[in-house]
C-alpha cells in the first residue's frame, strides 16, 4: 500500500510575518526551533537572537516576534504551543526552507548540508569535486560517503528530504541508478530542483517523510542526508522507509543527532524492522568541511553583487559557521552515518 499523495501546500508568504522582513523571519524560525520555549522572557530572547544575527537593521520588538509567530502558526496549521506559536517541527522546517529558497534562489546553491572532508589542514583534498558549483564540493562528498555501502547501478533510489537537489542529482550522475526520485516537503525547494537539475531518470516531487507517497517495496535504496532531524517523526519516517524498500534494500542515512542519544538512530532503525549493518561517527570529517567553508565562501562571494553577497555572507558565517557548527564543536550533537537493510 501507499499513503495518499499529499497536495502541496502553498509556499510561505513572508508578508504574513510583517513587520519582520524575510531574513528576520528566517531567524525567527531558528529562534522558535532552537531556543527553549519556557520562561516569561521568551519573546525578549527571540528578539535578542534576531538583533544579534542582523545588526544592520533596527532590532524587532518582542511583541512583533510574538505576533509574527502566531501568524505563522495560523498559516501553517497543526499543533501549537502555549501562547499560540507553532508547535510542529515539520511545519517549522518546511517554512524555514521555503524562506531560504526565497532569499537564496541562485542555481549554484544546490547543497544545504554541512559536507564532509577527509583531508588534513594542509594536505590535498581528494574528496572535494572541483566540478561542483559554489560551496557544494564537500556537500557532494557527504552524499558520496553516505551512499557508498550500496550498489546503486540500475536500481530505483528515493532521496527523502532532498533539499535543493544537488546531492540527488549527483547520485543520478555518478552512481548510474535506473531512476532517482527526490522528495521534499518545501514547495519552493521542489520548484528549484526541477529548475536546476535535468538528468535522465531524475524526478523531483513534493512529499512528507512520514507519509511517503509510494507503493510498498518500490525502491532498492532510500537515502536521506541531513534531513531526518527536520522530520515530524523520525520513527514514522523509518517505518515508511522500511515499507517502500524492496527485500534486501538499503537505507542510507547521514545526520546530526544529540550526543546523549548517539545510539538512537540504530535503535529506531531496528524498531522499524531494519537490520542495522553499520553506524559510524563522522563528526570529525564534517568539522573539517566546516573549517574549509570560510575560504570557499570568500572565493564564491567575490563573484556576487553587493546585495546577494551580504545575505550569503551572513548565511554562511552565522547559520552554518556559527550556529550549526556550534552544535558539533560544543559536543551537543554528533554527526552519524547509518547503513541498514530490509530483511529478505
Look over the chain and give the mean of its residue pLDDT values, rounded to a whole number.
Answer: 89
Paired residues of 257 in beta bridges: 334
Matching residue, cell 568539522: 287
Residue 285 has pLDDT above 60, yes or no: yes
Would residue 185 count as lying in a domain? yes
Which residue, 103, 127, 152, sits at the end of a domain? Answer: 103
CB neighbours (10 Å) of residue 174? 14
Q: Residue 210 belongs to a domain with what CATH number?
A: 3.40.50.150
Residues 141 and 87 in one domain: no
pLDDT value, residue 6 = 61
Which residue, 103, 128, 159, sits at the end of a domain? Answer: 103
Q: What average pLDDT does this structure show over 168-184? A: 97
Residue 295 has pLDDT above 90, yes or no: no
Tens of pLDDT along 211-245? 999 999 999 999 999 999 999 899 999 999 999 99
Q: What average pLDDT does this structure show over 298-323? A: 85
Q: What average pLDDT does this structure show over 295-320? A: 84
Residues 65 and 135 in one domain: no
pLDDT value, residue 47 = 94
Which structural domain, as residue segments, surrounds residue 42?
14-103
Q: What average pLDDT does this structure show over 265-282? A: 97
Which residue, 103, 136, 167, sits at the end of a domain? Answer: 103
Residues 190 and 245 in one domain: yes
Residues 135 and 97 in one domain: no
**Would you give the distance in Å from CA 189 to the centre of its chain?**
11
Task: Give how far Cα 181 sits from Cα of 203, 214, 341, Å.
Answer: 5, 11, 19
- Cis? peptide before 209, omega within 30° of 0: no
Of the listed ranges 68-77, 161-170, 233-242, 275-284, the least confidently predicted one is: 68-77
Number of domains in the chain: 2
Would residue 33 count as lying in a domain? yes
Tens of pLDDT along 201-211? 999 999 999 99
Would residue 43 count as lying in a domain? yes
- What stretch of H or E contains 248? strand 245-258
Residues 111 and 205 in one domain: yes
- Contact of 177 with 157, CB cutoff 8 Å: yes
Would residue 124 count as lying in a domain? yes
Model confidence at 319, in pLDDT bands (50, 70, 90)? confident
Residue 143 has pLDDT above 90, yes or no: yes
Residue 4 has pLDDT above 60, yes or no: no
Tens of pLDDT along 82-125? 666 676 677 888 888 999 999 999 999 999 999 999 876 666 66
Compute the residue count for the chain: 344
Would residue 131 count as lying in a domain? yes
Residues 22 and 91 in one domain: yes
In the chain, the percentage of residues whose pLDDT exceeds 90 is 61
Amino acid at each position: 500500500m501507499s499513503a495518499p499523495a499529499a497536495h502541496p501546500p502553498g509556499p510561505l508568504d513572508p508578508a504574513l510575518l510583517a513587520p519582520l522582513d524575510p531574513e528576520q523571519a528566517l531567524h525567527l524560525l531558528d529562534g522558535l526551533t532552537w531556543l527553549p520555549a519556557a520562561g516569561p522572557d521568551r519573546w525578549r530572547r527571540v528578539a535578542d537572537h534576531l538583533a544579534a544575527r542582523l545588526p544592520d537593521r533596527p532590532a524587532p520588538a518582542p511583541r512583533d516576534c510574538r505576533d509574527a509567530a502566531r501568524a505563522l502558526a495560523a498559516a501553517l496549521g497543526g499543533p501549537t504551543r502555549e501562547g499560540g506559536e507553532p508547535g510542529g517541527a515539520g511545519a517549522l522546517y518546511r517554512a524555514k526552507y521555503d524562506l531560504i529558497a526565497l532569499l537564496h534562489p541562485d542555481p549554484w546553491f544546490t547543497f544545504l548540508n554541512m559536507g564532509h572532508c577527509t583531508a588534513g589542514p594542509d594536505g590535498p583534498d581528494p574528496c572535494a569535486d572541483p566540478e561542483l558549483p559554489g560551496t557544494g564540493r564537500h556537500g557532494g562528498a557527504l552524499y558520496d560517503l553516505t551512499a557508498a555501502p550500496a550498489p546503486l547501478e540500475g536500481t530505483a533510489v528515493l532521496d527523502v528530504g532532498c533539499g535543493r537537489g544537488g546531492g540527488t542529482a549527483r547520485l543520478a550522475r555518478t552512481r548510474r541508478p535506473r531512476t532517482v526520485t527526490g522528495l521534499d516537503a518545501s514547495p519552493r525547494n521542489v520548484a528549484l530542483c526541477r529548475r536546476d537539475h535535468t538528468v535522465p531518470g531524475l524526478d523531483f516531487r513534493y512529499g512528507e517523510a512520514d507519509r511517503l507517497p509510494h507503493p510498498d517495496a518500490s525502491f532498492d535504496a532510500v537515502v536521506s542526508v541531513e534531513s531526518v532531524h527536520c522530520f515530524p517523526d523520525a520513527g514514522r519516517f523509518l517505518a515508511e522507509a522500511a515499507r517502500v524498500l524492496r527485500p534486501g534494500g538499503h537505507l542510507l542515512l547521514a545526520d546530526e543527532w544529540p550526543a546523549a542519544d548517539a545510539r538512537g538512530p540504530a535503535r529506531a532503525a531496528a524498531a522499524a524492522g531494519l537490520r542495522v549493518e553499520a553506524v559510524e561517527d563522522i563528526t570529525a570529517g564534517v568539522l573539517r568541511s566546516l573549517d574549509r567553508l570560510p575560504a570557499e565562501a570568500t572565493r564564491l562571494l567575490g563573484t556576487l553583487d553587493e546585495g546577494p553577497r551580504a545575505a550569503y555572507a551572513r548565511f554562511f558565517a552565522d547559520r552554518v559557521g556559527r550556529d550549526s557548527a556550534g552544535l558539533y564543536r560544543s559536543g551537543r550533537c554528533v554527526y552519524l552515518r547509518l547503513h541498514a537493510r530490509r530483511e529478505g
